[in-house]
Structure 1
Amino acid sequence: MSADTINKISLKILITGGTGMLGSAIIRLYHQQHQLHFIGRDKNIVKQLTDKYPVTGHIVDLSDGQALAKVFESAGGQEMPIFDAIIHCAAFSSPWGSYEQFYQANVTATENLLNLAKQHKVTRFVHVSTTSVYFDFTDRWLISEQDNVAEHFCSDYTETKYLAEQVVLTTAAQQKNVINTVILRPRGIFGPNDRAIVPRLLKAMRGHRLLLPSAKNPVLDLTYVDNVADAALLACLKAPKLENGSIFNISNDQPMPVNFVLKQLLSALQQDQTKPLTLTTLPYALCAPVIALNEKLCRYLPHQPEPKITIYSAGLLNFHQTLNIDKAKKMLAYQANVSMTEGIKRYVDWTKNKTV
Structure 2
Amino acid sequence: MRIAVTGASGFIGGAVATALAEADHEVVGFGRTPGGWTHPRARYREWDLDSGPLRADRDFEAVVHCAALADDWAPLAAALRANRDGTRTVVRSFPGARLVHLSTSSVYDAFVPNVDIPESAAPVRRFLSSYAESKTLAEFELAGTDAVILRPHAVYGPGDTTLLPRLFAAVRRGRLTLPEGAEVRHSLTHIDNLVLAVRRALDPATPRGTYNVADDAPVVLADVLREVFARRGMRVRLASIPYRSAFALAGSLEAVARARRRRPSLTRYAVSQLGLERTLDLTAARTRMGYEPTPTELDGAEHW
Which residue of 14, 26, 37 maps to 2:16?
26
In structure 1, the residue matched to 2:268 is 311
CA separation of 1:59/1:264 partners in 2, compared to 1, >3 Å: closer, same or farther? same
Q: Partner residue of 2:32? A: 41
**Residue in structure 1 matching 2:46, options 34, 55, 59:** 59
The one-letter code of the counterpart of 1:34 is H
**2:29–2:44 Cα contact (<8 Å) kept:** yes
State yes or no: 1:335 paired with 2:289: no
Q: Distance in 2 between matches of 1:225 and 1:216?
A: 21
2:119 paired residue number: 145
Q: Which residue of 2 aligns with 1:354?
A: none
> Paired residue for 2:135?
161
TM-score, length basis structure 2: 0.94
CA positional deviation for 1:285: 2.0
- List structure 1 segments (4+ residues) > 6 angstroms apart after TM superposition: none
SS in 2 for 1:162: helix
1:97-152 deviation line (CA, Å, top 9, x unaligned): 1111101110111111111222xx32x00111011111332123111112344331
Computed over aligned residues only, the root mean square deviation of the Cα atoms, in angstroms, reads: 1.8
Q: Which amino acid aligns with 2:136?
A: Y
In structure 2, which of residues 248, 256, 262 is the aligned counterpart of residue 297 of structure 1? Answer: 256
8 Å Cα contact 1:190/1:225 also seen in 2: yes
Match of 2:91 among 114, 134, 144: 114
Rounded to whole Å, the distance in 1 between the matches of 2:5 and 2:188 is 23
CA-to-aligned-CA distance 1:303-346 (integer Å, 9 cap, x gap): x3221221110111211121110110111111114x313xx223
Are the aligned partners of 1:219 and 1:321 in contact in 2 as well (CA < 8 Å)? Answer: yes
Matched, 1:129 2:106: no
SS in 2 for 1:288: helix
- What is the DSSP-based 3-state SS (H/G/I as helix, E as strand, rest coil) of the residue aligned with 1:45? coil
Kept in 2, the 8 Å contact 1:16–1:40? The answer is yes
**Could you list the runs of 5+ residues in structure 1 that have no partner in the other structure?**
1-10, 77-81, 173-179, 352-356
Measured after TM superposition, the shift of residue 44 of structure 1 is: 4.4
Query: 2:228 & 2:111 partners in 1: Cα distance?
Result: 25
Distance, in Å, in 2 between the alignment partners of 1:129 and 1:135 is 15
With normalisation by structure 1, the TM-score equals 0.80
Matched, 1:277 2:236: yes
Distance in 2 of aligned mates of 1:317 and 1:150: 20
Choose 1 or 2 for highest CA Rg.
1
The match for 2:162 is 196
Letter in 2 for 1:127: H
Aligned residue number for residue 299 of structure 2: 345
Identical aligned pairs, as a percentage? 27
- Aligned partner of 1:100 among 67, 74, 77: 77
Contact 2:171 2:236 in 1 (8 A): no
Alignment deviations for residues 149-171 of structure 1 (CA, whole Å, 9 cap, x no partner): 433122110000000000011x4
In 2: Cα distance, 1:281 partner to 1:54 partner:
48
**How many angstroms apart in 2 are the aligned matches of 1:277 and 1:136?**
28
- Secondary structure at 1:83's aligned position in 2? coil
Q: Within 5 A, what are the aligned runs for 1:236-247?
A: 236-238=202-204, 241-242=206-207, 244=208, 246-247=209-210
SS at match of 2:49: coil
Partner Cα distance (1:328, 1:135) in 2: 21
* Counterpart position of 2:65: 88
**CA offset at residue 204 of structure 1?**
0.6
Q: Residues 261, 153 of structure 1: CA spacing in aligned structure 2 closer, same or farther, 3 A cutoff?
A: same
Segment of structure 1 superposing worse, 98-107 or 202-211: 202-211
Contact kept, 8 Å, 2:105 with 2:151, in 1: the verdict is: yes
Q: How many residues get paired?
A: 303
Contact in 2 for aligned 1:219/1:257 (Cα 8 Å): yes
SS of residue in 2 equivalent to 1:146: helix
User: How far apart are 1:266 and its partner, in Å?
Assistant: 2.5
What SS is found at the alignment partner of 1:264? helix
Bigger share in helix: 1
Structure 2 gap ranges (5+):
none
